[in-house]
Chain A
Amino acid sequence: MDDLTRLVEIKDVYKSYGNLPVLRGVSLTIPKGEILGIIGPSGSGKSTLIRCINGLEEIQSGEILIKGQPISNRRESLEIRKKIGMVFQSFNLFPHYTVLENITNPCRVVNGMSKKRAQEVGESLLEKVRMQNKAHQYPGSLSGGEKQRVAIARALAMEPEIILFDEPTSALDPELAYEVFDTIKLLAEDGMTMVIVTHQIGFIKDLTHRIVFIDEGRICCSGSPDYILNQSEDPRLENFLMRIRGNL
């Protein structure tokens, strides 16, 4: 793998909240174009890991490189951060802006686009996630699935090179989760690099190229979806899969 294809490099990252260690030496390389699933029990550190990738959490030791540039310093990483899209479990749309303005405001403020250009970008992105008919409504009036689709469109507006999904469907009914994953599939067809943290392994087994299983702050095993979900004999992974399958 040469330098150009290594989009994200995570090298021996340690992170703790006070005395509580969350990540205990995680190393992971994400090449351009990969769709990576991250699974693991609650509190295993999987959300923390992707929050570290875009600088939402500071790390205590180790290194995270985006296209060879470190992201450790929050202030200097503004330009790099823009290239890393993030979709949150709780959507985090801006409630005081309409659906369209949720996309046009960052385009204008962060990217300095003209009003007209931002409008065009916003409208075409809403069309992509099939939300154009609600462009002028406020997020408060949307369903959870619709909110998440708008959040995906908003992340796309910054033309990111990678999008991180932090349990994007955990707050949704299964039916609405499907519509969000359909949207994520659209991005997959465009070749977007994505990291998806989720409990819903049913959704990601056909979508991802690779799945990483994290337990107690360490990468326990990783491999193709088929290997992870069907063939691995790691006892902790088996135990985890048994529990979440039991819930389905």
Chain B
Amino acid sequence: MELNFDLVFNNLPLFWEATKTTIRITVVSFIFALLVAFTVGVLRSFRIPRIIELFLASYVELFRGSPLLIQLFFIYYGLPSVGIVMDAFTAAVIGLALNGGAYMSEVVRASILSVPRGQWEAAFSLGYSKLETVCYIILPQAVRVAIPPLMNSFSSMLKETSLVSVISITELTRTGNLIYSRTARPFEVYMALGLFYFVMTFSVVLLAKQIERRGTRWTI
């Protein structure tokens, strides 16, 4: 069987539209995931009421311990049974943000715990309040530790958006599937798809390296 990549080039406008959808879902989900991760991660690195800690810990473990695919199915197809209906894009963003947020909150928590105790003590003895200590002393140092793993999470999320094709969002993967069913050329289509994802994640890796290099203004 001879290979014919013309069908990829002929469908480039379609792929381009789909790529934009993938990027949009990734960016929006990642921003919400960051909000979730910082809220949960910061709260969980403090002594908080047991009931809140239990609630946050259950959230993190539930979302890390079950497949994202099931979570997406549940949000989009399951929740309408109890009267919660939303469009596919919203469901995708909620699923990706809650799932990514659970993993990323652990990154944030570990980064906060990596800041030496002496930093808390110095701020305490200078008269900083707890909130001021977190904002001015701890988070700036924790964020630097967190950036490389968070960039990694961004790449993961970009690849995981391929799962939202199952709730009928016409992003990159679903577009590939549609073109495949029309042309019956899986080799060319999926190779092109893989390449598109790779180009995006590799760009993120390069960007991450750039940020890490520039972020070394100060050292411990």
Report A's interface with B, CB cutoff 8 A: 54-56, 78-79, 81-82, 84-86, 88, 90, 92-96, 105-106, 109-110, 138-141, 154-155, 158
Q: Output the nearest chain B residue to A157 by Cβ-Cβ distance.
A: B126
Residues of A within 8 A of B140 (CB): 96
Give every chain B residue within 8 A of A154 (Cβ-Cβ).
126
Write 27 A-B pairs (CB below 8 A) sorted by A numbering: A56-B125, A78-B127, A81-B124, A81-B127, A82-B126, A82-B127, A86-B121, A86-B125, A88-B122, A90-B118, A92-B121, A93-B122, A94-B122, A94-B141, A95-B141, A95-B219, A95-B220, A96-B140, A96-B218, A110-B127, A138-B217, A138-B219, A140-B218, A140-B220, A154-B126, A155-B125, A158-B127
* In the complex, B136 has a CB within 8 A of chain A: yes
Would you give the shortest CB distance from A66 to chain B, in whole angstroms? 13
The interface residues of chain B lying within 8 Å CB-to-CB of A86 are: 121-122, 125
**Interface pair B128/A140, CB less than 8 Å apart:** no
Q: How large is the interface on B (under 10, 10 to 19, 20 to 34, 35 or more residues)?
A: 20 to 34
> Which of chain A's residues have a CB closer than 8 A to the CB of B90?
none
Find chain A residues with CB under 8 A from B58 CB.
none
- 11 more A-B contacts (CB under 8 A) besides A81-B124, A86-B125? A56-B121, A78-B127, A85-B125, A94-B122, A94-B141, A96-B140, A106-B127, A109-B128, A138-B219, A139-B218, A140-B220
CB distance from B123 to the nearest CB of A (A): 8
- B141 adjacent to A96 (CB under 8 Å): yes
Chain B residues closer than 8 Å to A110, beta-carbon distance: 126-128, 132
Distance in Å: Cβ of A79 to nearest Cβ of chain B = 8
User: In the complex, A100 Cα to B132 Cα: how many Å?
Assistant: 19
Instruction: Establish whether residues A96 and B144, one from each chain, have CB atoms under 8 Å apart when the complex forms.
Output: yes
B146 to chain A, nearest CB (A): 13
Contact A138 B218 (CB under 8 A): yes
Which of chain B's residues have a CB closer than 8 A to the CB of A138?
217-219
